[in-house]
Amino acid sequence: MAEQKGMTLNLKIWRQAGPKEKGEFLKIQAKNIIPDMSFLEMLDVVNEELVRTGKEPVEFDHDCREGICGACSLVINGNPHGPEVATTTCQLHMRKFKDGDSIVIEPFRAKSFPIVKDLVVDRSAFDRIQQAGGFITANTGAAQDANCIPVPKKNADLAFSSATCIGCGACVAACKNASASLFTSAKVAHLALLPQGQAEREERVLKMVAQMDAEGFGGCTNTGACSAACPVEISLENIARMNRDFLAASIKHR
Amino acid sequence: MADATPKSTGKLDSKAPSGPIEKRWDTHKFQMKLVNPANKRKHTIIVVGTGLAGASAAASLGELGYHVKAFTIHDSPRRAHSIAAQGGINAAKNYANDGDSVYRLFYDTVKGGDFRARESNVYRLAQVSTAIIDHCVALGVPFAREYGGLLDNRSFGGSQVSRTFYARGQTGQQLLLGAYSSMNRQVDRKNVEVYSRREMLDLVLINGVARGITVRNLITGEIESHAGDAVLLCTGGYGNAYFLSTNAMNSNATAAWRCHRRGAYFGNPCFTQIHPTCIPRSGEHQSKLTLMSESLRNDGRVWVPKAKGDKRSPKDIPESERDYYLERIYPSFGNLVPRDVASRQAKFRVDEGRGVGPSGEAVYLDFADAIKRLGQAAVSEKYGNLFDMYEKITDENPYEQPMRMYPAVHYTMGGLWVDYNLMSTIPGLHVLGEANFSDHGANRLGASALMQGLADGYFVIPYTLGNYIASNPLPKVDISHDAFKASREDVSLRLNRLLSVKGNKTVDDIHKQLGKIMWDLVGMSRNEAGLKTAIESIRQLRSQFWSDVRVAGESNFKNSELEKAGRVADFLELGELMATDALERRESCGGHFRDEFQTPDNEAKRDDEHFSHVAAWEYAGSQGDKVTWTRNQEPLNFEYVHPSQRSYK
């Protein structure tokens, strides 16, 4: 293995025993952190040390560590998923930090994402928004041949770009109003851009927006902080599409 | 030592139909009993795992009107590791007009699996593959398209036809989100209830029939019981036995292993797939490995320096001093040989001392020719996201210098044994997707995992489960039954035992040690002496685990160390079984390569006379830390694709 010099980092990590408990920052040093480590591997090192010294490790959500599952979160020095653009926390590498840096690590904070423990939050509100209408009604076995539905490549590509949302919640954490508009609109736009999604287009946007509001997410004021923080660069255009569809549907469905 | 005497039991009835292979599934579907539509809602079906197999099963069964309870260890069903599959999904559509057919997909899969899969199952898989694409498009899955608006296809590892449908390098994500949306619709219709952050820790049997599960609520630590008329296990593979793999951090074998201990036979545990193109390990801190899609081999050329120990930068090594070894050894398939062959050849190069990179454990995958031929923009359009991911991890730009690649554990073909109806040796326990052993034999072809997960969930289980429900009495049970109470007590006892060791080793310390044993001795090539050493070492490590592990925290809160500990304890048993199975299978086939059994040019040499069978391992009890198994066999008959030496030359 190539020799890499270990760094020492001064961490301030949010610890909170449960949803109703009072939280506080744990100050701890991470030692021998090499630049090739991912941010979560750095936290693994910290946790192993905590366990070895008889303490409880810091809880954080993570799974694929490839930037696709959307499980990892964290607000790192004020930025959801850290300082690097278009990058999830698991794909952020320690070479972006310098020896001696201070790093503040907090959970995604939003009323609709209650803290479960330490850095883990409850993002089930996102599932409920999807359950309200983020689907196309098509029973298994009922479909015609796939090539009976031509989709212009441009629309297929746009739909794909919206569909790549990983559901991590960084958009909510970045927004001053904790709005879930980017998340919700990505699904609305994905399905509205495809011919298969037309039958339920109006009903879908009305139901998903209603659920988003019911979950207590804030309103959107188009600052674009969501899109800037998004690790998969979901475009602000999706919100425009959602608003347009919502307006049209609201007028028709009064 | 496991009792390795081969033995056949009546339990291993594959229930595979006979008759012309193209009619078998249709005939079987007609012969199966149906459940009255009005009665379906009275039946509760437990689905464990919400990846491609689980989510598609939950959605389809919900549509049929069953009451489905779906369980996931994640905070949301959408996190399942199916989401990380990159390359694509095969289907015998023949949209490319290049000679594909259901029969060809069937043939390729049986041959690619090195003649260790059941013909009837594989044919059915190829047959339903086309309906999967139709259904996914109807759900809004944004597959790649041509300018005319029709679906695009590409050829994929080991295939000479273009039958792979894809959504850039994120096909698994798009298919999973499709199945998730379909399941969400059933949640909205109140047919499916989702239980997130629940880990299945036991299967509950009443009169020998699977009637429920015991789960731990991962937030509160509460031990819960759930009863139903059938249990579908859709919990993925066991690659994390190796510690380092391309599996997600939480992927584990615990649910499957707990079922095994309750009587479900484990089929071909030694069949693991080592994927040839993964980003090499960068140091001891490494927590997992990242796969780079096999589609890269369509345009990338694999090479190592001709000279041993050549430490020059790749750009300083002239063409004449490079060995494009796959093109040299396999002129007709070249860089597109199946995964097991490509992986093994990379290992041979590294073992010869011709590996590259800082560790010497890598080979090059070079895009310079493709960039020259197609232009950087075209290469970026095809592989942009993979190139970005590579650069993020390694800090090297693959447009300018070749990628460094090395094989890593990726998929497990082995799994719980199931019959043609996807039912295990425990009545009522069905196993779907990667968790079962069924369709890929000794080696899985690229883009076939997504196909199998969705085939099982969308198009097989909706029929076969109905037949099970309609054919069995299934008296009503609820969680007040003693069997549920006993199971909850077993689970609590085990959790407390894990917490009470209070030793000096962390769970990861021991998991890493297990991984090293598995990778070194039960990895890309195996031999008798090594496997015997592995078995002995794993037993010692298991004793050490139970006497010296330290699990922090308590059981009545969120405690990821406790979650990991339970999973590693199970890997410590499964690892021994994997090594034992590898030892008993005295042949090479597919991904299982025994040094003692190879052709003069280092290819896997099967022994069809003695090993044309599935090894189905029966848990035979444990005393202290000692576990014993019985090896049963299901013979495999090949009526259509006649076993031959695979040749990709």
**Continuous H helices in B114-170:** 119-138
Q: How far is A65 from chain B (nearest CA, A)?
A: 7
Is the CB of residue B151 less than 8 Å away from at least one CB of chain A?
A: yes
Q: How far is A16 from chain B (nearest CA, A)?
A: 12
Q: What amino acid occupies position B136?
A: C
Q: What is the CATH number of domain A124-252?
A: 1.10.1060.10
* Count of the separate structural domains present in chain B: 2
Asked if residue A5 has pLDDT above 80, the reply is no
A44 to B287: CB separation less than 8 angstroms, yes or no: yes
Instruction: Give the whole-angstrom CA distance, residue A52 versus residue A42.
Output: 16
CB-based contacts of A242: which residues, under 8 Å, 6+ apart?
A: A181, A184, A185, A188, A189, A205, A209
Chosen domain end from B409, B426, B453: B409
B392 to A93: CB separation less than 8 angstroms, yes or no: yes
User: Which secondary-structure segment (H or E) carries A181?
Assistant: helix A181-192
Compute the count of residue pairs across chains A and B with CB atoms less than 8 Å apart.
219
Of A95, A117, A123, nearest to B75 by CB-CB distance is A123
B322-323 and B301-305 strand pairing:
antiparallel
B173 to A140: CB separation less than 8 angstroms, yes or no: no
B187 to A68: CB separation less than 8 angstroms, yes or no: no
Same domain, B494 and B609: yes
pLDDT of residue B294: 85
Is residue B72 one of the residues assigned to a domain? no
A18 to B557: CB separation less than 8 angstroms, yes or no: yes
Instruction: Give the whole-angstrom CA distance, residue B270 versus residue B594.
Output: 11
Contacts 24+ apart (CB under 8 A), A123-128: A123/A167, A123/A169, A123/B75, A123/B76, A124/B75, A124/B76, A124/B196, A125/A180, A125/A215, A125/A216, A125/A217, A126/A167, A126/A169, A126/A180, A126/A183, A126/B76, A127/B76, A127/B77, A127/B78, A127/B184, A127/B194, A127/B196, A128/A211, A128/A215
DSSP reduced 3-state for B194: strand
Is the CB of residue B282 less than 8 Å away from at least one CB of chain A?
A: yes
Q: What is the ipTM metric for this complex? A: 0.98
CB atoms within 10 A of CB A232: 20
Is the CB of residue B361 less than 8 Å away from at least one CB of chain A?
A: no
In chain B, the residue whose alpha carbon lies closest to the alpha carbon of A156 is: B142
Q: What amino acid occupies position B502?
A: K
Is residue B608 one of the residues assigned to a domain? yes
CATH of the domain at B566: 1.20.58.100
Instruction: Give the whole-angstrom CA distance, residue B221 versus residue B566.
Output: 14
- Read off the DSSP letter of residue B296: G
CB-based contacts of B165: which residues, under 8 Å, 6+ apart?
A: B88, B89, B90, B91, B93, B133, B143, B144, B151, B152, B153, B171
CB-based contacts of B450: which residues, under 8 Å, 6+ apart?
A: B52, B82, B85, B88, B89, B171, B172, B175
Is the CB of residue A236 less than 8 Å away from at least one CB of chain B?
A: no
Chosen domain end from B363, B390, B409: B409
pLDDT of residue B158: 67
Is the CB of residue A48 less than 8 Å away from at least one CB of chain B?
A: yes
Same domain, B384 and B494: no
- B-facing residues of A in 179-218 (CB < 8 A) are 190-191, 194, 196-197
Average per-residue pLDDT in chain A?
Answer: 96
Region B518-532: mean pLDDT is 97
Residue % of chain B over a pLDDT of 70? 98
Asked if residue A3 has pLDDT above 90, the reply is no
Region B395-400: mean pLDDT is 96
pLDDT of residue B98: 96
Asked if residue B85 has pLDDT above 80, the reply is yes
CB atoms within 10 A of CB A11: 20
Catalytic residue among B339, B444, B542, B585: B339
Of A93, A137, A151, nearest to B149 by CB-CB distance is A151
Asked if residue A59 has pLDDT above 70, the reply is yes
pLDDT of residue B9: 52
Is residue B132 one of the residues assigned to a domain? no
Nearest CA to A180 out of A209, A159, A201 is that of: A209
Is residue B41 one of the residues assigned to a domain? no
Region A215-227: mean pLDDT is 98
Q: How confident is the model at residue B3 (pLDDT cuts 50, 70, 90)?
A: very low
Instruction: Give the whole-angstrom CA distance, residue A96 versus residue A85.
Output: 12
Tokens encoding B504: 């000096």
Asked if residue B6 has pLDDT above 60, the reply is no
Is the CB of residue A20 less than 8 Å away from at least one CB of chain B?
A: no
Asked if residue B2 has pLDDT above 60, the reply is no
Instruction: Give the whole-angstrom CA distance, residue A12 versus residue B293.
Output: 37
Longest CA pairwise span in chain A (Å)? 67
Instruction: Give the whole-angstrom CA distance, residue B130 versus residue B455.
Output: 10
Tokens 């093109």 sit at which residue? B327
Interface test with A, best of B285, B388, B456, B563 (most A CBs within 10 A): B285
B138 to A64: CB separation less than 8 angstroms, yes or no: no
Is residue B468 one of the residues assigned to a domain? no
Of B147, B462, B558, nearest to A116 by CB-CB distance is B558
B286 to A149: CB separation less than 8 angstroms, yes or no: no
Which chain B residues contact residue A113 at CB under 8 A?
A: none
Is the CB of residue A153 less than 8 Å away from at least one CB of chain B?
A: yes
A48 to B508: CB separation less than 8 angstroms, yes or no: yes
Asked if residue B578 has pLDDT above 50, the reply is yes
Which chain B residues contact residue A231 at CB under 8 A?
A: none
Q: How far is A85 from chain B (nearest CA, A)?
A: 11
Q: Is B339 a catalytic residue?
A: yes
pLDDT of residue A253: 81
Interface test with A, best of B128, B129, B153, B184 (most A CBs within 10 A): B184
Average per-residue pLDDT in chain B?
Answer: 95
Same domain, B627 and B508: yes
Cα-to-chain-centroid distance, residue B57: 17
pLDDT (tens digit per residue) in B10-67: 579 999 999 999 999 999 999 999 999 999 999 999 999 999 999 999 999 999 999 9
Q: Which residues of A14-52 are buried (b: 16+ CB within 10 A; e: fewer)?
A: bbbeeeeeeeeebebebeebbbbbbbbbbbbbbbbbbbe
A147 to B151: CB separation less than 8 angstroms, yes or no: yes
The sign of the torsion formed by the CA atoms of B242, B246, B248, B252 equals: negative
Which chain A residues contact residue B506 at CB under 8 A?
A: 48, 51-52
Is residue B342 one of the residues assigned to a domain? yes
Measuring CA to CA, how many Å separate A102 from each of A9, A36, A229? 6, 18, 21
Chosen domain end from B409, B434, B450: B409
Instruction: Give the whole-angstrom CA distance, residue A45 versus residue A50.
Output: 9
A196 to B137: CB separation less than 8 angstroms, yes or no: yes
Is residue B415 one of the residues assigned to a domain? no
Domain covering A7-116: architecture: Roll (3.10)
pLDDT of residue B10: 56
A156 to B144: CB separation less than 8 angstroms, yes or no: yes
CB-based contacts of B16: which residues, under 8 Å, 6+ apart?
A: B24, B118, B119, B120, B121, B419, B420
Instruction: Give the whole-angstrom CA distance, residue A23 versus residue B47.
Output: 36
Judge whether B83 and B382 are in contact, CB under 8 Å. Answer: no
CATH of the domain at B353: 3.90.700.10
Which chain B residues contact residue A150 at CB under 8 A?
A: 145, 148-150
Same domain, B517 and B631: yes
**Continuous H helices in B599-647:** 608-611
pLDDT of residue B584: 98
This prediction has a pTM of: 0.97
Beta bridge partners of B274: B409
Is residue B621 one of the residues assigned to a domain? yes
Asked if residue A1 has pLDDT above 50, the reply is no
Asked if residue A2 has pLDDT above 80, the reply is no
A71 to B282: CB separation less than 8 angstroms, yes or no: no
Judge whether B112 and B158 are in contact, CB under 8 Å. Answer: yes
Measuring CA to CA, how many Å separate A166 from each of A116, B76, B177, B242, B388? 20, 11, 9, 27, 17
Which chain B residues contact residue A133 at CB under 8 A?
A: 188
Nearest CA to B593 out of B276, B340, B338 is that of: B340
A64 to B552: CB separation less than 8 angstroms, yes or no: no
B180 to A45: CB separation less than 8 angstroms, yes or no: no
Domain residue extents for chain A: 7-116, 124-252
Which chain B residues contact residue A126 at CB under 8 A?
A: 76
Asked if residue A215 has pLDDT above 70, the reply is yes
Domain, as residue range, for B296: 276-409
Which chain A residues contact residue B184 at CB under 8 A?
A: 127, 130-131, 134-135
Identify the residue with better confidence: A26 or B4: A26
pLDDT (tens digit per residue) in B180-234: 999 999 999 999 999 999 999 999 999 999 999 999 999 999 999 999 999 999 9
DSSP letters spanning B309-349 = T--S-GGGS-GGGEE-HHHHH-TTTGGG--HHHHHHHHHHH
Region B156-173: mean pLDDT is 89
Q: What amino acid occupies position A69?
A: C
Interface test with A, best of B40, B188, B244, B501 (most A CBs within 10 A): B188
Tokens encoding A141: 């076995």
**Continuous H helices in B2-84:** 24-31, 37-40, 52-64
Same domain, B284 and B381: yes
B138 to A136: CB separation less than 8 angstroms, yes or no: yes
Q: How confident is the model at residue B619 (pLDDT cuts 50, 70, 90)?
A: very high
pLDDT (tens digit per residue) in A135-173: 999 999 999 999 999 999 999 999 999 999 999 999 999
Region A96-102: mean pLDDT is 97
pLDDT of residue B295: 86
Which chain A residues contact residue B249 at CB under 8 A?
A: 62-65
Judge whether A128 and A215 are in contact, CB under 8 Å. Answer: yes
Instruction: Give the whole-angstrom CA distance, residue B438 versus residue B110.
Output: 11
pLDDT (tens digit per residue) in B117-156: 999 999 999 999 999 999 999 999 999 999 999 999 988 8
User: Which secondary-structure segment (H or E) carries B633?
Assistant: strand B626-635
Of B135, B282, B392, nearest to A87 by CB-CB distance is B392
Which chain B residues contact residue A40 at CB under 8 A?
A: 287
- A-facing residues of B in 103-122 (CB < 8 A) are none
Q: How far is B324 from chain A (nearest CA, A)?
A: 25
